[in-house]
Chain A
Amino acid sequence: QSALTQPASVSGSPGQSITISCTGTSSDVGGYNYVSWYQQHPGKAPKLMIYEVSNRPSGVPDRFSGSKSGNTASLTISGLQAEDEADYYCSSYTSSSTVVFGGGTKLTVL
């Protein structure tokens, strides 16, 4: 299985909005509403930010939102804050009953 495609890096200024894309195929992202997004700060375990495309776990700010169109899912962070600077990974369930991650995107808050 091939990793989902994410941009290597994105950046934005405090208060701005950014979007991170996650492109797969009809066998993963496009075929199921089981896309998740994770935030990872250096030296820490990943943290679930979005599940099932657009749902936020309890405690995740509503500045984080997710969506999907066709084979591409997106994570949008509005009102960027300094603490949002981290690596972000998407993941999807696949038609082979496996899970595939994206390559990760480094978010820099300028």
Chain B
Amino acid sequence: QVQLQESGPGLVKPSGTLSLTCAVSGGSISSSNWWSWVRQPPGKGLEWIGEIYHSGSTNYNPSLKSRVTISVDKSKNQFSLKLSSVTAADTAVYYCASSGIAFDIWGQGTMVTVSS
């Protein structure tokens, strides 16, 4: 059973870069799945950030594309998110998810606050 676990700083300064990692256990990141990041601001809905395939192919939300980079590290069986030039509007719970059939497996989520 594949499990996902997000990790990274819980506090990022405005104009800085948010960096998170999602560790994949119980399966290989080189499976046929895409691997995604989804965020949820406090009290608001879900927003898809982007996805990556183990080959390195990516798709991003057009509204975030200029600031987002998603990468994969097959040797560590993990994938990562970098979001640059963050503002308070980027404060959210960030989830990583597996897109086997839709988003069928989710991490528990990690809260990231943008504040000085």
Contacts and interface: CB of A to CB of B under 8 A. Distances in A.
Q: Do A and B bind each other?
A: yes
Contact of A36 (B38, B60, B62, B103): B103
Nearest to B50: A98
Contacts of A38: 46, 103
Nearest to B34: A99
Interface of A: 1, 3, 34, 36, 38, 40, 45-48, 51-52, 55, 57, 89, 91, 96-104
A100 to B, nearest CB: 7
B48 A100 contact: yes
6 contacts: A40-B46, A45-B107, A55-B101, A101-B38, A101-B45, A101-B47
What DSSP secondary structure best describes chain B's contact surface? loop
A52 B100 CA distance: 12
Contact of A89 (B45, B101, B106): B45
A99 B36 contact: yes
Contacts of A102: 45
B48 A51 contact: no
B108 interface: yes
A98 B106 contact: no
